[in-house]
Amino acid sequence: MTRRTVSILGSTGSIGTSTLDLIERDPEAFEVVALTAQRDAEGLARAAIRTNAHLAVIGDPDCHDALRKALAGTGIATAAGEGAIVAAAELDADWTMAAIVGTAGLCPTMAALRRGRTVALANKESLVSAGALMTDAAKANGATLLPVDSEHNAVFQCFPHDDASRVRKIVLTASGGPFRDTSIEQMRRITPAEAVRHPNWSMGAKISVDSATLMNKGLELIEANHLFPVGHQRLGVLVHPQSVVHALVEMIDGSVIAQLGTPDMRTPIAHTLAWPDRMGTPCTALDLARIGRLEFEEPDLARFPALGLAIAAMAAGGARPAVLNAANEVAVAAFLAGRVAFLDIASIVDQVLSRYDPPAPRSVEDVLAVDREARGHAARAAELQAA
């Protein structure tokens, strides 16, 4: 693999730190152009020093002084603010990791796509809210969009990219989260601390809650609908508690091709980082004999209504996925803050989808406007739920 220039948008989050882990294991193979973070100035500075990054950008301007002090005398340039993060995404890097959480990552990711290089996408909310705009931008600028989510990366590795008509169905797997066997009555008493303890994966709080409600899998179906041109009717979900099989692609001749691996995000990150080559990782080797059995079951939409809401939004298209995503972010934040109950998350999203149905967005500005309006509706619904 030839030496590559790389940038990491969201370098202090779980995906960003896993990416840094791989890069730092082979420093001769990578030159770090830019690293960004929202508020963790100390973590950003440490990463920039370790990788000798050219530029470190902090999203919150109030944290800029701390970043400058931490990097004084290193020769590493600094900048702050949302515009500076977008500018960092526009720098000429061979490969950019888009790992900023939420719709805050949309504008930087679009900027990286317009640069026309390779973008590794770990920001599902951007693709959910603005999927058509993002895939169109990639095509128009000759950019390569590589999925980092373990499920989409698995599909990417199995998919016949030269002829999608060979595919009968794509199936994403879901661990089922920590409450796969929990009754609805017990779910009423779930605490944020319980919801963020995922049984298989190490993830941030928001995505852990999404996994617990199965909203995460619904958002991934919407992503897959944009990434793999087979139509939403040929996308499905299976609950697979072991998290060993990450996705399956069923061909028209009945063959099923699956990608398997231990639940470690460094595997799909490494696939995109080295693509079209491969690189070594420290990930634990898969030992099927030790695992012994692989289980699969249909998801229970009655106990996990968030997945059904996402499937309906995917089928409706237009602005529905953006509304779903924004309302879910607000509802999850309210749950993590202790203002609403676990089962209220899907209820709040459902209420917003019932009350707000804007026209399909035609630009990034339209997407952001829909996002703002949906968040307002969700905030009001959360307040009423908490009252």
What would the pLDDT profile of 274-325 be if each residue is shown by its tens digit? 999 999 999 999 999 999 999 999 999 999 999 999 999 999 999 999 999 9
Query: The tokens of 155 are what?
Result: 């599909």
The two domains 4-147 and 318-387 share their CATH topology (first three levels equal): no
| pLDDT for the residue numbered 198 | 67
Burial of 283 (0-12, 13-18, 19+ CB in 10 A): middle
Q: Model-level pTM?
A: 0.92
CATH superfamily of 4-147: NAD(P)-binding Rossmann-like Domain (3.40.50.720)
Which residues, 6 or more positions from 82, have their beta carbon under 8 angstroms from its beta carbon? 59, 104, 107
Percent of the chain, pLDDT > 70?
Answer: 98
Give the domain ranges of the chain. 4-147, 318-387
What would the pLDDT profile of 321-341 be if each residue is shown by its tens digit? 999 999 999 999 999 999 999
Distance of alpha carbon 106 from alpha carbon 86, whole angstroms: 10
Distance of alpha carbon 122 from alpha carbon 269, whole angstroms: 9
Domain 318-387: which CATH number of 3.40.50.1980, 1.10.1740.10, 3.40.640.10, 3.40.50.300: 1.10.1740.10
| In the predicted structure, residue 29 carries a pLDDT above the cut 70 | yes
What is the average pLDDT score of the chain? Answer: 95
| pLDDT for the residue numbered 282 | 96
Distance of alpha carbon 59 from alpha carbon 99, whole angstroms: 14
| In the predicted structure, residue 203 carries a pLDDT above the cut 80 | no
Strand partners, 8: 35, 97
